[in-house]
Amino acid sequence: MSLLAVESLDASHGLVSAVRGVSLEIAEGETLALVGANGAGKTTLLRTIAGAHRAGAGRVVFAGEDVTRVPPYTRVKLGIALVPEGRRLFGELTVEENLRLAGDNGRKGPWNVEAVLQAFPLLQPLRRARAANLSGGEQQAAAIGRALMSNPRLLLLDEVSLGLAPTAVDDVYRSLERLIEGGTTVLIVEQDLGRAMRVADRLACMLEGRIVLEGRPDELSRERVTEAYFGLHAGTAPGPA
């Protein structure tokens, strides 16, 4: 049984349809990368799975339970954690204070402050630094660590590398790859197609609110994904590259 099943999901912003009939599944321990141009519906899809955006139709099923109408704080306790675009840390609080706040509202499990600092070594000397004073890469590491403090079964990551310097992206991805190797289930939205294809077990491309291409990275050439990304051959079924 899949850990997450999204079934014919619709979500809108007012009269604008952002997610249109999306269906996808993620198995426990799997990493699915979601790619697509700006406005394709990726962020809205993640927020709807997390409960931060209301579904207009369809279902979100997590660990066999229909959570479509379950509030976001309850989804956190069930094991769904979202790292939003822009990080959204509490700037006046220290790194450690941001982590502990998330830990107070999550599930019991192996993730605590020391485990997070071990997973993200760049944060170790910064545990008492104010979040507002961190670099973009340090803030992204802290935001992922904050999500891990809730001991999630599913980690939703929105635009991991957006706005970061290449060296900062390298640092964050080194830690992220260790999480993936440790069996963390991840749904990641990523603008860097090369990185997405390297870390993911499967890749899905969205266009105008719909998934138009899906498959394993070894099935999909970069050219084919790029065509789907820009809608040059939308709707082509996945297959060997």
Q: Residue 76: is its pLDDT beyond 90?
A: yes
180, 201 in Cβ contact below 8 A?
no
Average of per-residue pLDDT across 110-133: 94
pLDDT in tens, 132-176: 999 999 999 999 999 999 999 999 999 888 888 888 888 889 888
Region of poorest pLDDT, from 71-80, 93-102, 158-167, 219-228: 158-167
pLDDT surpasses 60 at 240: no
The SS3 of residue 7 is strand
State mean pLDDT over 15-26: 96
Model confidence at 7: pLDDT above 60: yes
Beta bridge partners of 24: 6
Q: How confident is the model at residue 20 (pLDDT cuts 50, 70, 90)?
A: very high
Give pLDDT, residue 160. 86
Confidence at 209, pLDDT banded by 50, 70, 90: very high
Is the CB of residue 30 less than 8 Å from the CB of residue 185?
A: yes
Asked whether the predicted pLDDT for residue 63 surpasses 70, the reply is yes
Domain boundaries, the chain: 4-229
Quickly state the pLDDT bin for 233 (edges 50, 70, 90).
Answer: low
What confidence tier does 234 reach under pLDDT thresholds 50, 70, 90? very low
Task: Please choose, from the candidates 211, 219, 216, 187, the residue with its C-alpha nearest in 3D space to the C-alpha of residue 28.
Answer: 187
Q: The dihedral of CA 229, 232, 233, 238: what is its sign?
A: negative
Question: Average pLDDT, stretch 112-121?
Answer: 93
Average pLDDT over residues 97-117: 88
The better pLDDT of the pair 64, 191 is held by 64
Strand pairing class (202-207; 31-35)? parallel
**How would CATH label the architecture of 4-229?**
3-Layer(aba) Sandwich (3.40)
pLDDT for 205: 96
Q: What is the average pLDDT value for the chain, to the nearest integer?
A: 91
